[in-house]
Structure formats: C-alpha cells, structure tokens
Amino acid sequence: MHCAIDVGHGYVKAVSATGKRTLFPSWIAPIPEGPQMGRFDRQDVVTVNDGAYWVGNAARHYATSLFSHDKATDPLTLALTWIAADQVMDSDRIVQLGVGLPLSWYGSQKDALATALTGSVTVGSQTLVVEQVQVFPQAVAALVSIANFPITGLIGLVDIGYRTVDYLIAQVNEGVPRPLPTTAGTYPGGVHVAYQAMARTVEKDWHVHFEPHELVQRPTVTVHGQPMGLDPYRNSALQTLAEDLARHLAIYWDGVQEKLDALYLAGGGAQDLQAYWPDWPGLTVLPQSQWANAQGYLRLL
C-alpha cells in the first residue's frame, strides 16, 4: 500500500492511498522516570520496537520540537514516521512510503533516510513492513500537489514550515511545471523563529519561561493563575519573520520575482504569514496548505 508521510518540525502529516489521514504535533518523548501512577502509568503510551514513547499532545510537557538536521540518524524522527504510517494502515501491513526533505538537505541525505526507514518494525503489537521508501524534495512535492496552473508563465512557490522555508520558481508550459534550480533554496527560519521571539518577550515581560512550542496556536497562557493574551506578541513576531523572509526572497529572486504570474504559499505556516504580505500580487494560499507536501509525495509514488 502507498503511504505518504510529511514529518515536519511542527506537525506530522500522513495520508494513504485509501484516503486515511492522520495529523499530530511532532512531539515525542521516551517515558520519563518517576513515581508509579497506577493505571495512569501506561496511558497513551506508544511502543516502537523496544522503545516506549508519549507522542503528540501526550508528550507536550516532556518533548521539544524536532530540530535534527540529519533525519536518517535521528531515532525520534524515524519512530514518528513509523507511528504515522501505522495510524493510516488497513489490513495490508506492507507499505511503500513516500517521505521528503528540505531542498538544501535533499541531495546529501535522501539515500540514508530511505535506507534507515526500510525494513520491518513493530508498532504497538503489530509488525509493519516498509518494503520501499522514496524520498522527494519538499517544495517540489508541494508544487506537484497544485491542481491548476496557468497554461504558461512563471510561478513561485514558498513552502513555510516550522523550522525551514523552501522556495522555488517554475516555468509552466501547457500546464506542466519545470522548476528552475537556480531559483530554489531553503531559508533556515520557519515559524519557530517567531515563536522563539515570542517566548523571549513573554519571559521578559511576565518572568515565566515557556518553550516556544508551548505557545503554538494558543490564544492565551496561564501565568500565576491569570489568563494572559498572546496575540500582540504573536502578531509582532510574525510581522518580523514575514519582513525578514520577504527581504531574503527579494534578494534571491532579484529580477525574476517581478515577472511572476502567480505566487503560491504552502506549508503549515502559510496562513500565518499571508496576512503580512498584502502587497504581493497573485498571492494564493494552497487549499489544505499544511498537507501540500504529503499530497505531493502520494502523487509521486
């Protein structure tokens, strides 16, 4: 069975050829040491081979977001991939996986990641057989997920993730896009940069430390028993990120950006940053933008 999995630094997204989907935060933590809690000891525990983990929201208080540059050697990234595959499996436990890497990491890591994910793994009480793994470049996969292109012309795509932002320009001829390698790259400043800035400012103002991932998609946090609003902090941090990224693209796409017929935003951060680029002509957020890479992997399998 074909299955596409996008293990982002913010969220894990998986979709199978049968249409089953799963989405959860990219938080995973080995079960910590501590006093026994009776029947709550093993609540929400997921086992992978010999390891026992809390995953997603269950790991909120113990995990930090994944930041490994080398996904093939990161056991937590591999475990999240197998767990996501298990969640979208049906009775057929043999799977062909499609996964991805940021553009700047793709060439050096794709073979090692495919090898690391291939083989038999036990998730829970069942065996999952990963028969084949294909690794695709992010942003290119998001490009493939687009249903309707201009018949001809230049299109740009910016894939805004939690840790990285991939970008490229493609020439479209008769509805078929051809990416231009000299316009493609990875900006090492996804939306986590905004949440890092938020966490620093919140700690300065309220004298309480929060990890950046604790502030994601939360309108308020509790400080000394009182709800405190995060919107002003979030708006300021996202504005700064949007300005920095716009300057980077203006330099990297100098002389080409002005000629674009359309500009698409993909990734989990697309909705966050769209509002801060009101003057960009032809700007469109892809439908289900958070799923763009996973949908592209599935099409490419």
Q: What is the DSSP string of 133-151?
A: EEEEETTHHHHHT-S---S
Is residue 298 one of the residues assigned to a domain?
Answer: no
Residue 37 CB neighbours (<10 A): 9
**277 shares its domain with 164:** yes
pLDDT confidence of residue 34: 65
**163 shares its domain with 240:** yes
Instruction: Return left, alpha or beta for 202; rule: phi > 0 is left, psi -120 to 50 is alpha, else beta.
Output: alpha
**102 shares its domain with 21:** yes
**192 shares its domain with 238:** yes
Is residue 294 one of the residues assigned to a domain?
Answer: no
Tell me, letter by letter, the H, E, C secondary structure of 69-121. CCHHHCHHHHHHHHHHHHHCCCCCCEEEEEEEECHHHHHHHHHHHHHHHCEEE
* Tens-digit pLDDT profile for residues 212-265: 888 988 999 999 999 999 999 999 999 999 999 999 999 999 989 999 999 999
Q: Which residues of the chain carry a pLDDT beneath 70?
A: 33-43, 64-67
Please state the domain count of the chain.
2
**154 shares its domain with 281:** yes
pTM, entire model: 0.92
Q: Which one of 76, 111, 137 terminates a domain?
A: 137
CATH of residue 262's domain is: 3.30.420.40
Using the structure block, give the residue that is written with the tokens 């084949």: 132
Residues recorded for the chain = 301
| Radius of gyration of the CA atoms of the chain, in A | 20
Element (H, E) at 29: strand 28-30
Is residue 196 one of the residues assigned to a domain?
Answer: yes
Q: What is the pLDDT of the chain when averaged over all its residues?
A: 91
Q: Which residues pair with 24 in a beta bridge?
A: 12
**13 shares its domain with 50:** yes
- Determine the structural domain holding residue 56 and report its residue range: 2-137
**83 shares its domain with 210:** no
Q: For residues 167 and 190, is the Cβ–Cβ distance under 8 A?
A: no
Strand duo 119-123 + 126-137: pairing: antiparallel
pLDDT confidence of residue 65: 64
Contacts of 24 (CB under 8 A, 6+ apart): 11, 12, 55, 56, 57, 84
